[in-house]
Amino acid sequence: MAEEVVKVESRTVDPAEQQMLKRAQAEGIETIWDRADKMKPCPIGSEGACCRICSQGPCRVPPPKKAKPGEEQKKQAVGVCGATAETIVARNFARMVAAGSAAHTDHARGVAHLFKEVAHGRAPGYELKDAGKLRAIARDYDVPLSVGEGDDKKSRSKEEIAQDLAEKVLAEFGQQSGELVFSSKRAPKKRVELWRGLDVMPRGFDREVVEIMHRTHMGVDQDYKNIIHQCTRCAISDGWGGSMLATELQDVLFGTPVPVLGDSNLGVLKEDHVNVIIHGHEPLLPELINAASQDPEMLEYAKSKGAKGIQLAGICCSANEILMRHGIPVAANFLGQELAIITGAVDAMVVDVQCQFQALASLVKCFHTKLITTDERGRIEGETMYIPFDDHHGPEIARKVLKEAIDNFPNRRAPVIIPEQKYPCVVGFSMETIRYLLGGSIRGSYYTLNDNIIGGRVRGIGGVVGCNNVRTLHDNAHLSMVKELIKNDVVVLTTGCNAIACAKEGLLTPEAAIKYCGAGLAEVCETVGIPPVLHMGSCVDNARILLAAAACVRAGGLGNDISDLPAAGAAPEWMSEKAISIGHYFVSSGVYTIFSAAWPTTGSEILTDYLFHGLESELGGMWDFELDPVVAAQKMIAHIDKKRAALGIDK
Ligand code: CUV
Ligand code: SF4
């Protein structure tokens, strides 16, 4: 570009990505940062104060300027129909919750359909890997594990159990009344009672999303508290519903993660290998691509094209899924997706759904990279190739995708420049693993997490998750927040793009405990041999954090609801609607949840105050916003200390 060169240090803190940004600048290749510079966000829209849900608008109702002394304070405008700022901002917020929840539950739908096909033996390449977890879920859904009585009692096969379970979970999508199983059975008792009392127990996955769309249609729900009430119900159906179901069924199909060693950053790509980037969110096809990449026939084929082997590497949450279960290296998080291609070494980028830039389609034209879409819900105009996944031909489709990548290996045009940065990480901390390592359900042992919290070695728990956002210095907020927390003895549970940022910084290693942690947390990490930042998976795996919180409550000694725990949540670089749904289900679960980067309801002071303060008396959790990630971390710590004091365990 002929424009003046922007300092790459002002765009990302990652040296590997800085190197790729320099290449982009030198070669005139446009990235998301260039487009962001050209696109000024609309100040009214970013406050949530613009309503465009009917054609009499768009109506803009930004907060009026504060009156000077002696002047009369101007009232905030209302929309043409009379809709107040509270209504308009709440409607916009609610639609974010609906979209985020829809993304997660629609992910769950795909997994549930595959699960059914596997149960009936109609999905080659897949199996019911975790029979123990299958039985645990079946118990929650009242699916019998055995038939007959007394001496005739026979246990049922996993297939039989799974077939019944599949019908029951699929029915929850269109369920009209009653309660979702996980919401009512897996949350702490006191929380469930609270939800029932507030009438926010979700009834069916699809119903809650549809109801938000209806309520936020022109002229329906015009009471902001009532709109947020439905947000709460919809968000619970995401966290304690769709996301949890996606996570649990994926564990049954692909295995529950246990600690595994992986590598991170762009240095995981290999010049002499066929490099295939897996990017997106749903691990169904990636699981089989991973299997196919080890197939001797495939490796032979790669060699016949002059490559030494096949290197898979991930981006975004599909990356987290295959990293956790197979140790497949992760190349980058959200903001690195273009930069991976700019290495010139990516032979195919395989995408499914969510968080994929449309700009990838034009970017791959500057290189040889094939952009392969694989999901009928996620086509990209100008995609190089569309190879749709279906449950019944998985292995065949996986091989076809890989073959396209291999065939493309000899077509590399641009010089290959792969940054050298590559850092190890220990991942795979499912709730089950954490319970095993930290003895969550047996109190009294030295390693028990609860006892360490009570004893003060661990001050509390911080869930730090979520996206990257081009409007903030890439990865900076993630890293400074996490470092501030572990320095103050707060153990961090991470997922999503925060987890990848932490991996690239070496925070997911036991050694990080010595380098960054306060003495108490360092001691616990060294004794148990774990990192101070525990990678729990992808964004749907935030459900694992909920389950871990519920397990802490059950283990005893820290109150009897999630809102009693010395814990706080954050998404310091969020950008997607999914993050808002996730944040709201944490708040609804009783967690103090703070976001940085931007806040979408500043258009209404009244609504914002309700989200930040009013909700605490109803739900025990509340939202907060703070631009500075270190200050945000300190606010989380202050909340943790407040909860410690309430429990009588402050030092
Ligand atoms: Ni789903 S939603 S940018 S990949 S965490 Fe990453 Fe995670 Fe946000 Fe997307
Ligand atoms: Fe304007 Fe009301 Fe229509 Fe919204 S619903 S665009 S506030 S007239």
Per the structure, the complete domain to which residue 211 belongs is given by 85-146+157-254
Torsion sign (Cα): 477, 478, 483, 488: positive
**Cβ of residue 463 lying under 6 Å from some atom of ligand 1:** no
120 and 209 inside one domain: yes
**Domain CATH code at residue 333:** 3.40.50.2030
248 and 273 inside one domain: no
Q: Which strands sit side by side in the sheet containing 346-351, from one edge to the other?
A: 385-386, 370-373, 346-351, 274-279, 310-315, 330-332, 260-264, 423-427
270 and 248 inside one domain: no
In a domain, residue 349? The reply is yes
How much is the pLDDT for 555?
A: 87
**How do beta strands 330-332 and 310-315 pair?**
parallel
Instruction: Answer whether 175's CB lies under 8 Å from 143's CB.
Output: no
- pLDDT for 377-402, tens place per residue? 999 999 999 999 999 999 999 999 99
As for how many domains the chain has, the answer is 3
109 and 218 inside one domain: yes
Pocket-forming residues, ligand 2, beta carbon under 6 Å: 51-54, 56-59, 79-81, 83, 88, 218
- For helices 284-293 and 394-408, give the axis angle rounded to 10 degrees: 60
Name which residue sits closest to atom 7 of ligand 1, judged by CA: 496
Residues shown for the chain: 651
92 and 233 inside one domain: yes
* Residues 6+ away with beta carbon under 8 Å from 204: 172, 173, 174, 175, 176, 177, 180, 237
Nearest Cα residue to 240 out of 527, 550, 494: 550
239 and 142 inside one domain: yes
Mean local confidence (pLDDT), 584-613: 98
Ligand 2 atom at minimal distance to the Cα of residue 61: 7
- pLDDT for 532-589, tens place per residue? 999 999 999 999 999 999 999 998 899 999 999 999 999 999 999 999 999 999 999 9
Q: How far is the CA of 140 from the centre of ligand 1 (A)?
A: 29
245 and 305 inside one domain: no
Q: Is the pLDDT confidence value at 481 over 70?
A: yes
How much is the pLDDT for 442?
A: 46
Q: Is the pLDDT confidence value at 2 over 70?
A: no
Mean local confidence (pLDDT), 506-517: 97
**Cβ of residue 503 lying under 6 Å from some atom of ligand 1:** no
> Could you say which of 227, 254, 281 is where a domain stops?
254
How much is the pLDDT for 437?
A: 82
Instruction: Answer whether 140's CB lies under 8 Å from 168's CB.
Output: no
Name which residue sits closest to atom 5 of ligand 2, judged by CA: 218
Ligand 2 atom at minimal distance to the Cα of residue 219: 5
How much is the pLDDT for 443?
A: 52
How much is the pLDDT for 3?
A: 52
* Residues 6+ away with beta carbon under 8 Å from 171: none
**Cβ of residue 581 lying under 6 Å from some atom of ligand 1:** no
108 and 226 inside one domain: yes
How much is the pLDDT for 403?
A: 98
297 and 445 inside one domain: no
Q: What would the 3-class secondary structure string for 481-521 be?
A: HHHHHHHCCEEEEEEHHHHHHHHHCCCCCCHHHHHHCCHHH
Instruction: Answer whether 519's CB lies under 8 Å from 486's CB.
Output: no
My answer on whether omega of the bond before 202 falls inside 30° of 0, hence cis, is: no
- pLDDT for 151-196, tens place per residue? 899 999 999 999 999 999 999 999 999 999 999 999 999 999 999 9
- pLDDT for 67-103, tens place per residue? 999 999 999 999 999 999 999 999 999 999 999 999 9
In a domain, residue 627? The reply is yes
- pLDDT for 436-454, tens place per residue? 887 744 454 556 889 899 9
Name which residue sits closest to atom 4 of ligand 2, judged by CA: 51
Give the residue carrying structure tokens 């699916």: 143
In a domain, residue 13? The reply is no
- pLDDT for 185-213, tens place per residue? 999 999 999 999 999 999 999 999 999 99
